[in-house]
Amino acid sequence: MRYTTLLLVTLLASSFVSAEPLTVARIFADPDLAGPRLRAPKFSPDGRYVTYLQGKADNKDQLDLWAFDTRSGTARMLVDSRKLVTKEEKLSAEEEARRERQRTAALRGIVEYEFSSDGRQLLIPLGGDLYLYDLKAPQSAEPVVRLTNSGAYETDAKISPAGRYVSFVRDQNLYVIDLRTREERAITTDGTGLVQNGVAEFVAQEEMDRDTGYWWSPDDSHIAFTRIDDSPVQEVERFEINADGARMFRQRYPAAGTPNTKVELKVVSLTTSKVTNVELALGDGYLARVKWFPDSKYLAVQRQTRDQKKLEMLKVDAATGTGHVILTETSPHWIELNDDFKFVDSRRAFVWSSRRSGYKHLYLYDLDGKLLRPLTAGDWMVVGDGTENGLVGVDEKQNRVYFLASEASPLERHLYWTALDTKEPSKVTRVSREEGWHEAKLLPGTQGYLDVFSSPDQPPTASVRKMDGSVQHWLLRNPLDDSHPYHPHVSNHLKEEFGTLKASDGQQLYYRLLKPANMRPGQQYPAVIDTYGGPHVQYVRKDWMGGGRTSQGLFRQVLAQNGFVVLTLDNRGSGFRGNAFETVIASRTGKAEIEDQLRGVEFLKSQAYVAGDRIGVMGWSYGGYMSLMALTTTKAFRAGVAGAPVTDWRLYDTHYTERYLGTPQANAAGYESSAVIPNAGSLHGALLLVHGMADDNVLFTHSTQLMQKLQSLNMPFEVMTYPGGKHGLVRMPQQGRHYYEMVLRFFSRELGAPTPSS
């Protein structure tokens, strides 16, 4: 009894000591509040090692390369990024833009790497040069060898599939290094000015999830590559305003309804240097995906029409460049691109995904494009972690295809399998066990899988598991014990509530809700709705501080700990719920989304603890657009924060905007009713408008046009601009901290403190 009492007193004392309020400053400080994290995990080809990137204890955004040995169960740092590049890393303009597209602009050190096919070497780009790490180097030898040492910057580096070459893009041209001779040669030489080789064009990187412009054949004999020409694209003058001055850029930006980049696809032979032009017949459409057939003789080329209602797969003869259509997908709304496409060698077939049933599912085709059978079916999605990609892998020996899906709940992701010869596609077998959010990568030979898991109460964990879901090795347990970075804040941590509301058409809307601690009966609390609301994003999910940026989830905690009720609701039009849910925004945006958010407002007002006349709204990018539409088309909000908002869809890019609205020429009324500017005179409530002054995605022009319009109407509003700030500035430590602290002050002032209910 004395022991029990002593233990209880000790735990209470420990809890008391650790009761630190969460602050914005701490969110952006080191170490990472989520604990150690595995970024970009990969298996070595022999399955022995799990390699990953991990931030330093004194700088969570400076990444080093680590490896976990599945035989010994131990981890070690392979490459210390500071030892390879001792000076502060300077990125080229091309690399800065590429990382901005990949949402890794805040990271430094090693941000990508690649295994050789034999598993012996790792290719590491760092500081603009390339390095090879030999995993089997003798102890007496230096394991890291520098491959390039040029004044130019090498990007998009790859080891060829058979391991003979390293390839990269430098100064708008494609290069290879023969690893046997270390001889470097240029594959292309005409990349200059508006012409680039081996590079993905702007909309491919930003909107199509294609960040490369070249593809090796499996046998190392050929490379398929793009030649892009930006000369048809309209030129806009964009000023990047930094603290030390302004620079004017003439940027080729393909705004909705204007011409796109000209894209050609070519194939080069490494032995003869012969270049073959592929007959794409793109017209004004898009090169969506390129993949080699296993025999290295044919290419699988996906092309998408300009209106994005048709996607065709061509089987192209690499020797002649001619091809024919073997598969066609059509939709009355739009086709979502993904990478759920894998060859099944033993069956001379491939796995393909489609939304033709209204939900994304897997299908098996033969190599000539004949449908063999559906592999999955049901009112749920084959879908991954915040992307359309759900296919994990195929075990040909066991006759199984593995995938991630929302079958258990739209708020969760789990690993499943089904048989390649299934006769009941609606019946699938779940592998992952814990309720929450799973990501998975199959071990080579499918002898197990890497499971990265989190839940609202558990920071991300990582384990190697058997195919029955049981743990084989823990890489990262990440318990919230007294050694965890978040432990000082655990006793103040507020548990989220999840629930549903109904949209006007009867579809379910999911929400996550945070309430202030120790709410007093009879008091009413101000509320903030944190929204994104746009396609391809899901904020309401059972993961750790997620549904967006981790810093954003932590900021919701800060708001709640400062006395705000915080609601996050996924409206119709947001991602991964099926066609009926997602396509309500076709031809007009900002209507159904706001209608659903108003359901959230009604829900808040129905709670006795919420001050219904003191509700705010905040969002970034599409969420910033949502905030502006909420403030200009309703009177439900007292205050709103609009970060990097789209204000006129005619100013945004072709592939994204036309997917939902068509072209301005064909849907002028839809563009007008979807824009913020025409509603500016109806602004209701306090507005804080925020934008980076070097944003090359949602151009600063969106906000300056709104500023001018509101000024001409003599409407009051507040502005915060960030010199040098890109679209992802909220991820940057200094700018992100400043932004969130400003938002907290803004809502504290405009929405006030809790008050007694009337």
| pLDDT above 80 (res 217) | yes
pLDDT computed for residue 462 by the predictor = 96
Nearest residue to 288 (alpha-carbon basis) of 345, 341, 216: 341
pLDDT computed for residue 89 by the predictor = 76
Q: What is the pLDDT of residues 158-181, one digit of tens each?
A: 999 999 999 999 999 999 999 999
Q: How confident is the model at residue 10 (pLDDT cuts 50, 70, 90)?
A: very low
| pLDDT above 70 (res 239) | no
Q: How confident is the model at residue 105 (pLDDT cuts 50, 70, 90)?
A: confident
Q: Which two tokens stand for residue 93?
A: 């303009």
SS3 of the chain: helix, strand, coil, percent, to 5: 20, 35, 45
| pLDDT above 50 (res 427) | yes
Q: How confident is the model at residue 218 (pLDDT cuts 50, 70, 90)?
A: very high
* φ, ψ of residue 632 in degrees (nearest 5): -105, -15
pLDDT computed for residue 322 by the predictor = 98
CB 617 within 8 A of CB 528: yes
Amino acid letter for position 171: D
For the ranges 381-385, 401-405, 665-669, the lowest mean pLDDT is seen at 381-385
Task: Give the angle 313-315-319 at the CA atoms, nearest 5°.
Answer: 145
| pLDDT above 50 (res 2) | no
| pLDDT above 70 (res 589) | yes
Q: What is the pLDDT of residues 638-692, one digit of tens each?
A: 999 999 999 999 999 999 999 999 999 999 999 999 999 999 999 999 999 999 9
Q: What is the pLDDT of residues 342-356, one digit of tens each?
A: 999 999 999 999 999
pLDDT computed for residue 1 by the predictor = 39
Residue burial 609-622, b: 16+ Cβ < 10 Å; e: rest:
bbbeebbbbbbbbb
**Which residues have CB under 8 Å from 370's CB, separation 6+?**
none
Q: Which two tokens stand for residue 546?
A: 């997620």
Q: How confident is the model at residue 379 (pLDDT cuts 50, 70, 90)?
A: very high
| pLDDT above 80 (res 17) | no
Report how many helices (DSSP H) and strands (DSSP E) the chain contains, helices first: 13, 45
Half-sphere exposure of 464 (CA within 13 A, CB side): 23
pLDDT computed for residue 619 by the predictor = 98
pLDDT computed for residue 650 by the predictor = 98
Nearest residue to 539 (alpha-carbon basis) of 593, 458, 601, 603: 593
The continuous run of DSSP H or E covering 453 comes out as: strand 449-455
Across the range 227-233, mean pLDDT stands at 97
**Which residues have CB under 8 Å from 4's CB, separation 6+?**
none
For the ranges 97-106, 533-542, 664-673, 718-727, the lowest mean pLDDT is seen at 97-106
Q: How confident is the model at residue 14 (pLDDT cuts 50, 70, 90)?
A: very low
Q: What is the pLDDT of residues 247-282, one digit of tens each?
A: 777 789 999 999 999 999 999 999 999 999 999 999
CB 349 within 8 A of CB 396: no
Q: How confident is the model at residue 548 (pLDDT cuts 50, 70, 90)?
A: low
Q: How confident is the model at residue 99 (pLDDT cuts 50, 70, 90)?
A: confident
Q: Output the average pLDDT for the chain.
A: 93
Q: Tell which phi-psi region holds residue 292, choosing left (phi > 0), alpha (psi between -120 and 50) or beta.
A: beta
If you write DSSP's letter for every residue of 314-346 in order, what string do you get? EEEETTT--EEEEEEEE-SS-PPP---EEEEGG
Helices 733-751, 550-561: crossing angle, 10 deg rounding: 30
pLDDT computed for residue 95 by the predictor = 84
Q: Which two tokens stand for residue 547?
A: 């549904």
| pLDDT above 50 (res 40) | yes
Residue numbers annotated as active site: 621, 695, 727
Across the range 119-139, mean pLDDT stands at 92
% of the chain exceeding 90 in pLDDT: 85
**Which residues have CB under 8 Å from 401's CB, separation 6+?**
351, 362, 375, 391, 393, 394, 395, 417, 418, 419, 420
* φ, ψ of residue 229 in degrees (nearest 5): -130, 115
- Give the domains, in start order, of the chain with CATH numbers: 495-753 (3.40.50.1820)
Sign of CA dihedral 541, 544, 545, 551: negative
- Across 232-347, where does the E strand assignment appear? 235-242, 245-252, 262-269, 275-277, 286-292, 298-304, 310-317, 323-330, 341-344
Q: Which two tokens stand for residue 174?
A: 């494609």
pLDDT computed for residue 88 by the predictor = 77
% of the chain exceeding 70 in pLDDT: 96
pLDDT computed for residue 758 by the predictor = 58
For the ranges 29-38, 237-246, 292-301, 717-726, the lowest mean pLDDT is seen at 237-246
Q: How buried is 470 (Cβ within 10 angstroms: 0-12 exposed, 13-18 middle, 19+ buried)?
A: exposed
Across the range 81-94, mean pLDDT stands at 82
